[in-house]
Copies of this chain bind each other. A is one copy, B any other.
Amino acid sequence: MIKDLAAASDGPVTVAGWVETVRDQKKVQFVVLRDETGAVQLVNPRNVDAEGVVIADEPATTISGLSQGSFVTATGELKHDERVKLGGIEIKLSSLTVATAAIPETPIAGDSGIDKRMDWRFLDLREPKNNLIFRIQTTFEHALREYWVSNDFIEIHTPKLMASPSESRAELFEVEYFDRTAYLSQSPQFFKQMAQSAGFGKIFEIGPAFRADPSFTSRHATEFTSVDTELSWIDSHEDVMTLHENLIVAGFTAVKEKHGEQIKELFDVEVVVPSTPFPRIPLAEAKRIVAERGYEVPRHDDDMDPEGERQISAYVKEEFGHEFVFLTDYASSIRPFYHMRHADDASLTNSYDLIFNGVEISTGAQREHRVEILEEQAREKGLEPEELDFYLDFFRYGVPPHGGFGMGLARVLMLMLHLSNLRETTYLFRGPTRLLP
């Protein structure tokens, strides 16, 4: 790998990657070769004949014909030389073999718009910044799984094909399923809860979720990767928040350790491992704080809005120096039927949203596990009890008190790296008008 060259001693080496640039000069040719770990300069001084005329020999002829993006294997002599700007090393070529020649025109450039870049995502992802994003994602996810596995959570893969909606009739994709209709899972909610009734105790899943959301914002996608976990025998949503904090800390610690320097270099962002406990603010209080800062949330329901989330985040950053805040105790009116309500005030739920750098990344809650109350709440929200019957059965046959959260993976990455669009941190974005590539 190219990253290993700096530590290697001078001598013969073979590297492989794609051509980033070619400078085909009269006396010497330069190629910048990149692989997923870095870039290196290849140099080929041209040979001249007795009269001083340049000879069309190899690899000179191949280099002259090289198009940007072609994948090649290069063999030559590694030489450390402080004068070489690119890492202080270069490779004096002895041979160069083209694995695949790229067609010469390059459809995107550094200043291409996001949609154009998404059209050519496979080229866009060759950018070192974009490659790094998915290495960070890998590290982050793995750290979460390490935490779960070492704490005896079971990994589950819930079905994405369902007989009924999991969240609501709105934003639902329909699938032709033999002679009937199936629906794409909007969340693993029901099946995470089923695991509690099944006595699994603690579970996790990282997988796709689907929302037929027709909006074109920078934060919504029709398909996204959802980070989900659920655990039994909790006393309240406080236990879920504690787990949530621990997972975030595990993920951020691993990312900072493995990629902190590169993130600083390529994104100019200092990754901060958050301290625990994260600040917790009941939603009603958060709205008062935001109002005191001069922002009245322009909504008729009890919810926050994006600007309100930015404001409370700014407040928490100023007051507590923290990038995260749990907004707790959302109103029952704006939460799903399966959120447990306060024992002494049914207008509030044992739930929270986690806000990171001004944007909501997750919703968590204690779930209502008493089937009579659950049925009542479902009816109140206008859901059809028949469609929910299979779900209600989980509770009829016994289930412990439990709770959990779902978190958008691409959102965490977007906010961690101070990016403004989910498309940047999604491998292949899906939106109302985007199914390609």
The smallest C-beta distance from A424 to any residue of chain B, in angstroms, reads: 14
22 A-B contact pairs sorted by A residue (CB < 8 Å) = A16-B233, A34-B199, A36-B201, A69-B398, A71-B398, A100-B370, A102-B396, A103-B396, A122-B194, A131-B154, A138-B155, A139-B149, A142-B149, A158-B427, A159-B430, A161-B210, A161-B435, A163-B435, A175-B176, A178-B432, A194-B428, A393-B437
**Contact indicator B397/A123 (Cβ below 8 Å):** yes
Is A312's CB within 8 Å of the partner chain B?
Answer: no
C-alpha gap A433/B396 in the complex (Å): 25
Knowing A200-B131, A369-B99 touch, does A430 contact B194 (C-beta < 8 A)?
no
Q: How big is chain A's contact interface, by range?
A: 35 or more
The smallest C-beta distance from A4 to any residue of chain B, in angstroms, reads: 11
Q: Mark A183-215, 1 if CB is under 8 A from B, else 0.
A: 010000011001101111110001110101010
Knowing A174-B175, A199-B125 touch, does A194 contact B437 (C-beta < 8 A)?
yes
Partner of A397, one of B37, B102, B174: B102
**Contact indicator A138/B122 (Cβ below 8 Å):** no
C-alpha gap A195/B142 in the complex (Å): 19
Is A77's CB within 8 Å of the partner chain B?
Answer: no
C-alpha gap A60/B134 in the complex (Å): 58
The smallest C-beta distance from A63 to any residue of chain B, in angstroms, reads: 15
**Contact indicator B177/A100 (Cβ below 8 Å):** no
Partner of A427, one of B157, B161, B214, B222: B157
**Contact indicator A400/B100 (Cβ below 8 Å):** yes
Which A residues have a C-beta under 8 Å from some C-beta of B? 16-19, 34-37, 67, 69-71, 73, 99-103, 120-123, 125-126, 131, 134-135, 137-139, 141-142, 145, 149, 152-163, 173-178, 180, 182, 184, 190-191, 194-195, 197-202, 206-208, 210, 212, 214, 222-223, 225, 232-233, 369-371, 390-391, 393-401, 409, 427-428, 430, 432-433, 435-437
**Contact indicator A225/B157 (Cβ below 8 Å):** yes
The smallest C-beta distance from A284 to any residue of chain B, in angstroms, reads: 30
C-alpha gap A191/B125 in the complex (Å): 12
**Contact indicator A435/B177 (Cβ below 8 Å):** yes
**Contact indicator B400/A200 (Cβ below 8 Å):** no
C-alpha gap A142/B432 in the complex (Å): 34
Q: Looking across the interface, which residue of chain B has its beta carbon closest to that of A98?
A: B398
C-alpha gap A214/B396 in the complex (Å): 33
**Contact indicator B177/A155 (Cβ below 8 Å):** no
